[in-house]
Structure 1
């Protein structure tokens, strides 16, 4: 699905990502975690085609990434909702840009808003919604284009714990229904362990991959209640602190 080879990204004279290598298989859910300044968001934006590297290559499904691709859905921290557009208009924006027939837009957007339980909010504006509802709209807009890859930058960081966990379950359900690949950046260890089949632990100065943790318990809705969940959280924390196994 994704092949990253010798990725070098600099901001001025500062090296953010140093010849990074990464392979992501088809239909995998990948968490990217690490301290501030390790290049997590930069990597995500490079995969989205928003940032151009100084050297190295990124291929998705065998094709080089040279700018944004229509099959990639992106959700940023700010949600990116247009305040002057309704829930329906925000969710359908990508399809309108692609000039799909109105009937197809109606069908696709209705289905996704129902799946995310916000169809009853379709005529409201973002300012009239809670943070969790706004995030659902952002997810709906990204999924409406039927992406094969969903990139998310700290998608739930501004939400309270209960809403965050609710939307984490929504994301897992979406992953299984849509059969897509997901990469998301987070600072939250528990979120990374709950949502990541693989957890990429990054280190700074310059940004590189310290370790990749395989999470065999991904997809268990009761994972947070189990010993294995806490054991994996401890393992990830130790790696982030530079400890070896």
Structure 2
């Protein structure tokens, strides 16, 4: 189990064409307790992925620091697995070898890594597709392969950047359910980025709303008090879900409108 702390981090990018440097996020202070599932939502361009990349150690903060269990992060976060928006499957490798890739990079012998990969392939419902290549899989099957590829190395932290955004609604809900089943009881800390407030509420213990960029920062944190385990195929019809949604949307809508008006200064959304 691992705790994530963002201690006043800001991330700025160099100026282009003689302009001012762009500050994606500014003075972000946030804690994700060990074993919690926390989702981050906000308008387009608010720095959600930038924040995730900082926790992954792919971007070094301009100011402030990322702490893992109280220790400053230096370089890549070796305790984290990262599930990107686009899968990282290698087209020339089979499902079996893609799932086993992380173990191969760690020097695990072939027989052992294939045995462990077959177990994870079974867990994500892809038994029978071990010898298939990525181009032979549906979008949902590719996502299942990516989930297995990420989990097989047993990271303490799972970072997920819109992992189901490209899937159709039905497949997405099935994948969300399967994700929760894998996570429940694992003790893993999850930081999940999504544009979909429904998804954030359905999955999470807590939802964090980021302000419109530039210079984004958290403007609201909401506990999700829905009971676990959750059936995500039916949870959205519960009155408690609707109440939580309405509470969060009040803040999120304001930030979405601010972001839109900054990008389109002549627009008036309330007209």
Q: What is the TM-score with the length of structure 1 in the denominator?
A: 0.95
CA distance in 1, matches of 2:206, 2:141: 28
CA distance in 2, matches of 1:212, 1:186: 15
**Among candidates 84, 103, 106, match of residue 92 of structure 2:** 84
Aligned length: 243
Structure-1 residue corresponding to 2:209: 201
C-alpha contact (below 8 Å) 2:96/2:114 kept by paired residues? no
CA distance in 1, matches of 2:61, 2:79: 20
Q: RMSD of the TM alignment (CA)?
A: 1.3
- Displacement of 1:45: 0.5
Q: 5+ residue gaps in structure 1?
A: none
**Among candidates 3, 18, 21, match of residue 5 of structure 2:** 3
**Matches for 1:34-49 after TM superposition, within 5 Å:** 34-49=42-57
Structure-1 residue corresponding to 2:253: 241
Pair 1:21-2:33 in alignment: no
Q: Deviations over 1:112-154 (max 9, x none)?
A: 1111001211111111000000001110010010011000100
Pair 1:223-2:235 in alignment: yes
Structure-1 residue corresponding to 2:194: 186
Q: 5+ residue gaps in structure 2?
A: 15-20, 256-271
**Among candidates 85, 98, 106, match of residue 106 of structure 2:** 98
- Displacement of 1:218: 5.4
Q: Deviations over 1:171-222 (max 9, x none)?
A: 1101114221111110001001101110010012311001011001153214
1:241 alignment partner, SS class: helix
C-alpha contact (below 8 Å) 1:6/1:21 kept by paired residues? yes
**Matches for 1:27-176 after TM superposition, within 5 Å:** 27-176=35-184
CA distance in 1, matches of 2:81, 2:235: 27
- Displacement of 1:37: 1.2
Q: What is the TM-score with the length of structure 2 in the denominator?
A: 0.86
